[in-house]
Structure 1
C-alpha cells in the first residue's frame, strides 16, 4: 500500500514529541524442576481420588431413597417419625423447637430428582460434619415434596426422628430431622 505524501506529513505531525520506547525488560522462561511437577501430579491425583470417594459415598446415601417404599407414618395433621428404639420424648422436643438446626436445606422450585440429590447431599453433610439437627424447607406449592421427603428420610438408617417444624423454623413448610452423630 502506497501512502500519499499528505498522509505521511499528517502522521509525522501527530506523533511529534512522542518518545521512542526502549525495550529493556526480559522475562526468562520458567523452568520447572521434574520433582516439583511429580509432586503436583501426585497432589492433584490424591485430591481427585478424595473427591471421587466423596461422590461415591454421596451416591451410596441416595441408595436409601426408594420412591416405591410406603412407611407407616401417622396420618394426623403433623408429619412425624421416630426410629424404633428411640426415646419418644425426642418427638416432643422437636415439636417444641428445643433443637436448633445447624444446617438448612431449601428445596423450593426443585424437581423430585433434584430434591432427592440435595437431600442425599444434606444427609452426607450431616454425617461428615457431625450435625445433630437439620431443617428441610419444602414450601407449600403442590405438596409433592412435602409428602415425599418423609418417605425418603425414614429409609435412611441414621435418621433418628423427624417432625414438622415449629413456626420458628418454618412451620408447615419445613421439617426438622435428628441425625445420628458420632460421639
Structure 2
C-alpha cells in the first residue's frame, strides 16, 4: 500500500485491535564481552604510549624507494613478492579499517601508529587505511610513512571493493608467541 492510499477507519481499527497487547521494544546495544575486557584491561596511558612509540617511525624527510609505475605498492625485503600480489587480488580481507579523511598530517601519523599498535596487540594481520583523494597530501604521504615502519610487511593499493585508489591494504607483522593478548 502506498502513502497515496490512506487507510480507512476499518483498517485502522483492525490494526489497533491486533496491536493492542504489544509494547514498544527498548533499543539496546550489546557489546561483546571480550571487547569490554580489552577496553578495561588497557589503561589510557598505555594506549597513548603505544601510539607515540609506533608513530615515531614516520619521517617526512625520508623518501623510501617505491615503484613509480602502476598502483602504489611495497614489499619489505624479507617478505615474498607473492604477498603483494595477494593484496592486489583481494585475497586478504582487512580486519580493521582506519579512515584518515579530514585529518592533518600530524594527526594521521598518530592514528597510523595507534592502528599498527592495535593490530599487533590484537593480532590483526591485514588492515585498510582509507586516505581519500582530497588534495593528494595524505594519498602521497601515507605510503611513504608505511614503508618506514618495521612492522609493515607489505602494502598495495586496495581493490575496488575495499576503496580502490583512495585506500591502501597492508599486512602487519604479528608476533604470535611473545605478544600478550592484553
Provide the TM-score with structure 2 as the length reference.
0.72
**Which residue in 1 is equivalent to 2:138?**
145
Confirm or deny: 8 A CA contact 2:50 2:114 kept in the other structure.
no
Deviation at 1:52, TM superposition (A): 2.1
Partner of 2:77: 84
Alignment length (residue pairs): 137
Contact 2:73 2:84 in 1 (8 A): yes
Show the counterpart of 1:95: 88
2:47 & 2:158 partners in 1: Cα distance? 30
Partner of 1:119: 112
What aligned pairs does 1:27-42 form with structure 2 within 5 A after superposition? none
After superposition, the C-alpha distances for 1:14-66 in whole angstroms (9 at most, x for unaligned) are xxxxxxxxxxxxxxxxxxxxxxxxxxxxxxxxx8x943233222211111011
Measured in 1, the distance between the counterparts of 2:85 and 2:126 equals: 14
**2:73 corresponds to 1:64:** no
Is the Cα contact below 8 Å between 2:67 and 2:73 reproduced in 1? yes
User: How far is the alpha carbon of 1:167 from its aligned partner?
Assistant: 0.4
What RMSD in Å do the two structures reach over aligned CA positions? 1.6
Local SS of the residue matching 2:52: helix
Bigger radius of gyration among the two: 1
Shift of 1:110: 1.1
Structure 2 stretches of 5 or more lacking a match?
Answer: 1-39, 177-182
Shift of 1:77: 2.5
- 2:108, 2:138 → 1: CA distance? 8
Q: Distance in 2 between matches of 1:77 and 1:110?
A: 26
- Correspondent of 1:167 among 141, 160, 164: 160
Deviation at 1:143, TM superposition (A): 0.8
TM-score w.r.t. the length of structure 1 is 0.71
Matched position secondary structure for 2:47: helix
